[in-house]
Structure 1
Amino acid sequence: MQPLLLLLALLLPVGAETEKIIGGHEAKPHSRPYMAFVQFLDKDNNNDSKKRCGGVLVHKDFVLTAAHCWGSSIKVTLGAHNIKEQEKTQQVIPVRRAIPHPDYSPKNYSNDIMLLLLERKAKLTAAVKTLPLPRGKARGDSGGPLVCNNVVQGIFSYGKNDGTPPGVFMKISHFLPWIKRTIKHL
């Protein structure tokens, strides 16, 4: 089964995006308090279009997301259930610095992982919490986390345009040395 999934993943067009959730259901409000909504301006193609990605709060002042979620005027919303409504639980925090992996390649999306240093620390509440990074090897919507046993194991990179499986996730444990080194030095 795993070789088949790998083959299917390799057949996906590079940069394919999944913007629709097929067969999903609404989560209980604030049941995923580590989720982050990342908004930015995309300067590609000479247009300042607003783009959005998911992310995960891994430290009071760091959000982990996909490197292709880079742009200008990045801001992160934490503690939201419905991003279209203002909620008292929401914290909107500008990003001080975006730190894509040094080996990220936009041509083939290799090393598609990025840390966002927030302008200020998030206030941890019932609706805003961090999600621990994996301690070792992992078993396995852009920037959104793959969570197993309440630990972030992957960051969504890309998938088919129609939202059907498979989706491709960057395995977090492979990037732990870079993540920890980057957080420690900032």
Structure 2
Amino acid sequence: MNGSLFSKMKPIFVFLALPAVIWAYPQTKLFQSDWQDFSLRRIFIEPDNLDSPKFDPGLRIVNGYEVSPHQIPYQVWIIFRMTPGAGGWGCGGSLITRRFVLTAAHCILWAGLAEVYLGVHNISSDETNRIIVTTKKLTGHPDYNPTNITNDVGVIDLEQEIELNKFIDVVKLPGLGDLNELYEGENARVSGWGKTAGDGNSSDVLLAVNGTVLANTDCKAVFSIFQDSEICILGSGGEGICDGDSGGPLVAGDVQIGVVSYGTRDCVYGYPSFFARVTSFLDWIVENSDYVVQ
């Protein structure tokens, strides 16, 4: 890419403090945390031309709706830390097997360990069905490129098998017959605990929004760094992803088709949100987890 393009599109990690809350651990207490130290991780870039016509309406998990508790039992909340007891940052993820979680590579970047919260709905409440697993087995895609945000996927090995129930379950990934599926025009749902506005607070409860999967040409018209190994969606009424939603699942029907990757600065109204396309990384996911493609 030429220099002028790089000057317009600089991927930046955003770290914004979470409200002070105390989370009770149902298992062995892991670390004493000052939750004011935690931040929300997200990559944003500038569109190729901020003065160009925007997609309208736009999106962010801003104007999302609260899902019924445990309606999305594969959704997980993750606190990443560089070292035990250190401050950290929050991201989303999805349970893909009883042992492995799928998330974004940019969430894993610089992390030495992860605390994975399963079976949660309200992250500021002491929910008795919640499980917290701490692990140091974090694998980001080796070809993840923070400059153009390619290959933004990673997996977390929980180092133990999780008992599945109505609060905790696995999500289905695309099958071998879906490898060439683009999902254009399909309705898809993205969920997370991220910020509810570009300048607002994170959500205590799990929120979701629905959007339409756009054609690759439309996605690339907004950000020229867009690759065919990515996917973008446009909300139906000003909804979409924001800080803290990184790594979370984009689902069409009951199949996860994307992993939250990047969007515009401050979750600007009128622009789509971007995801790593799961079908492009099935081989890598299989090689780095115990997931079996159907």
Q: Match for residue 167 of structure 2?
A: 127
Amino acid at match of 1:49: G
- Contact 1:98/1:115 (CA < 8 Å) preserved in 2? yes
- SS of the equivalent of 1:109 reads coil
Q: Match for residue 180 of structure 1?
A: 286
1:106 & 1:30 partners in 2: Cα distance? 33
RMSD: 2.2
Q: Match for residue 12 of structure 2?
A: 15
Deviation by residue 1:10-48 (Cα, 9 ceiling, x = unmatched): x764236379721112111000001010111258xxxx5
1:124 & 1:139 partners in 2: Cα distance? 31
Q: Which has the higher strand share?
A: 1
Correspondences of 1:1-186 after superposition (within 5 Å): 13-15=10-12, 17=42, 21-42=61-82, 48-70=86-108, 71-135=111-175, 136-137=178-179, 138-140=181-183, 141-164=245-268, 165-184=271-290
Give the paired residue count: 171
Deviation by residue 1:37-84 (Cα, 9 ceiling, x = unmatched): 0111258xxxx5320100000000000000111112311001000011
- Contact 1:143/1:156 (CA < 8 Å) preserved in 2? yes
- SS of the equivalent of 2:287 reads helix
1:22 & 1:184 partners in 2: Cα distance? 34
- Structure 2: gaps (5+ residues): 1-7, 14-41, 45-59, 184-244
Shift of 1:143: 0.2
Deviation by residue 1:98-121 (Cα, 9 ceiling, x = unmatched): 111121123332101001000211
TM-score, scaled relative to structure 1: 0.83
- Contact 2:249/2:260 (CA < 8 Å) preserved in 1? yes
The percent identity for this pair of structures is 35
Shift of 1:166: 1.3
- SS of the equivalent of 1:146 reads strand
Shift of 1:144: 0.6
Cα pair distance change 1:149/1:139, threshold 3 Å: farther
Amino acid at match of 2:182: R
Amino acid at match of 1:68: H
1:171 & 1:30 partners in 2: Cα distance? 25
TM-score, scaled relative to structure 2: 0.54
Rg larger in structure = 2
- SS of the equivalent of 1:59 reads coil
- Structure 1: gaps (5+ residues): 1-10
